[in-house]
Amino acid sequence: MDEDALLLIKRAQEGDEAALSKIVEADMPLVKYALSRRAYPGEYADLFQTGALGLIKAVLRFDPDKGAAFSTYAYSRISGELMNNKKRVPMPAAFSLDEPGSKDGACPAEKLFSDPEAFERIENEIFIEQIMSSLPSWERELIALRFFCGLTQKKTGERLGLSQSQVSRLERRIIGSIRRQAE
């Protein structure tokens, strides 16, 4: 790293916002590269901000005396930030035997044993949870938006940065993959 870049980093660490902006702008390709290795369709915009935050943290915490190149250190910080903050799609809550009793005073275990279809529902929930957890995060997000949140293909596409036809094709492929796993 040249002396000018080190000087910019030092000025940024001392609170110079213009220097911080300049060094972040110059090293933004590191964020794009890290995203190209980790982001899925629909995640890019949110993760870009997270990656940029990682780059800013790298600038503010970089210590050239430790011997690492700035690009190596920054890429490591960006990647760590992406891994730590990657969005997770919340899954529907599974039936729990530990939850407190209902208003009618029956505990969940009593409901389970008194409802002949309860075991089948629980098995289905466990199966769905296992299948969903085996999917990559962007596929899980697409399926959750479509089937758990009830969004249309068009609305799902808007949320994920995809067209309706792309959502349709991906949905068909993902469902086909799930069916093969179920067999």
Is the confidence at residue 130, as pLDDT, over 50? yes
Domain assignments of the chain as residue spans, ordered by start: 3-85, 111-182
3-state DSSP helix/strand/coil % of the chain, to nearest 5: 70, 0, 30
pLDDT bucket at 175, cuts 50 / 70 / 90: confident
DSSP result, 97-142: TTSPP-TTS--HHHHHHH-TTHHHHHHHHHHHHHHHHHS-HHHHHH
CATH of 3-85, one of 2.60.120.260, 1.10.1740.10, 3.30.2350.10, 3.40.605.10: 1.10.1740.10
Give this prediction's pTM.
0.47
For residue 157, what pLDDT band results from cuts at 50, 70 and 90?
A: confident
pLDDT per position as a tens digit, 88-99: 434 344 444 444
111-182 to CATH, choices 2.40.160.40, 3.30.390.50, 1.10.10.10, 1.10.357.10: 1.10.10.10
Q: Which residue in this structure is represented by tokens 């809550």?
A: 93
